[in-house]
Amino acid sequence: MSKLEPTSKVAFGYIAPFAYLHKVPKDESFHLILAHLLGSKKYVNYYNKRREMGDYILLDNSAFEFKRPIEADEMLSMIKQSGINANCLVAPDYPFQPGIKTIKSAEKFVKQLRDKGLDYDVMAVPQSEKGDWKGWLDCYRELTQIDGITHIGMSCLGTVNAFQSVTQTTDVMVNRLLASITLLQKDYIDVNIWHHYLGAGNINEIIIQRELGIINSMDTSSPIWCGVNELCYGDDFVGFNKNQEKIPVNFELQKIKERQTAKRINSCINDNIDYIKILTR
């Protein structure tokens, strides 16, 4: 099983509706996929082909979407039934609950995989109760000490939940930057662990996170989904701005065939992807 090795380039996972999977860049070899979408044969077949090409597939537990994780037995059953060939699995994590629950769950998950002889990389995602940023830090540190944890997920949900008591804002970039800075100040970072930033409230966050030197990868549905909604990134905003209600991704959206609309959508998607490529190279 191939392993990820840290590089200076930020690996980027593009999340797309089923009908627009073809817009995921061919030259990107890192992908985050969502466990609750494994019922789609088109989705599974697409990413299995990418894996055959040597790409790295990270299977998320969908805790962000459901505000609860898909549990270990359920995930392993979904993997078996769907036939997905992933490299890395995200251990169950528990947003808004004490960090110890996520720690114990990650320990159990790693042991369960070993007992079954399954050779997966494993990502753990620090969590805490609302406003408990110290608890989040403790959870992070304990997770990095578990033998078998190869990746840490810096959740846009978990960091906002923990650090908003300090920042007094729910802005993803502000809270996750504070989380990263605090980890550096306390010398908690393990350079042998891959740090993936789950979701992007503002993809320009990559610029500052790169300067801090922790980030290895990030994912978001923003570039392709914004493009589908005919929104192009610009100098003043990236995707949906404050005057627009963010529209949840409709993964089952049918491909829009009306010629002029389709042309505008393709242009927006391509422009958004080009914008990200400048940030990540």
Q: What is the pTM of this model?
A: 0.92
* Residue boundaries of the structural domains of the chain: 11-221
Q: Strand 11-14 and strand 30-34: pairing?
A: unpaired
The phi, psi pair for 37, rounded to 5°, reads -105, 5
Query: Residue 14's beta-bridge partner residues?
Result: 220
- Tell me the pLDDT tens digit for each residue of 209-245: 999 999 999 999 999 999 999 998 876 656 665 555 5
**pLDDT of 34 higher than 50:** yes
CA distance 123 to 168: 29
- SS3 for 194? strand
Task: State the average pLDDT over residues 50-54.
Answer: 97
Cβ proximity of 93 and 63 under 8 Å: yes
Q: How many CB atoms lie within 10 A of CB 176?
A: 26
- Tell me the pLDDT tens digit for each residue of 234-273: 766 566 655 555 778 999 999 999 999 999 999 999 999 9
The pLDDT-based confidence of 2 (bands split at 50, 70, 90) is very low
- Tell me the pLDDT tens digit for each residue of 145-182: 999 999 999 999 999 999 999 999 999 999 999 999 99
**pLDDT of 1 higher than 50:** no
CA distance 134 to 147: 23
- Tell me the pLDDT tens digit for each residue of 91-129: 999 999 999 999 999 999 999 999 999 999 999 999 999
The pLDDT-based confidence of 10 (bands split at 50, 70, 90) is very high
| CA dist 103 → 38, 67, 74, 139 (Å) | 26, 17, 19, 7
Express as a percent the part of the chain with pLDDT over 90.
80
Predicted pLDDT at 236: 61
Classify residue 97 as exposed, middle or buried by CB count within 10 Å of its CB (0-12, 13-18, 19+). Answer: middle
Predicted pLDDT at 5: 54
The pLDDT-based confidence of 48 (bands split at 50, 70, 90) is very high
Q: Which two tokens stand for residue 173?
A: 């970039």
> What CATH class is the domain 11-221?
alpha beta
Predicted pLDDT at 71: 87
Task: State the average pLDDT over residues 69-77.
Answer: 88
- Tell me the pLDDT tens digit for each residue of 180-211: 999 999 999 998 999 999 998 788 899 999 99
* pLDDT, mean over the chain: 91
CA angle 169-67-135, nearest 5°?
Answer: 55
Q: How many CB atoms lie within 10 A of CB 216?
A: 21
Residue for token pair 């998607």 = 269
What single DSSP character describes residue 123? Answer: E
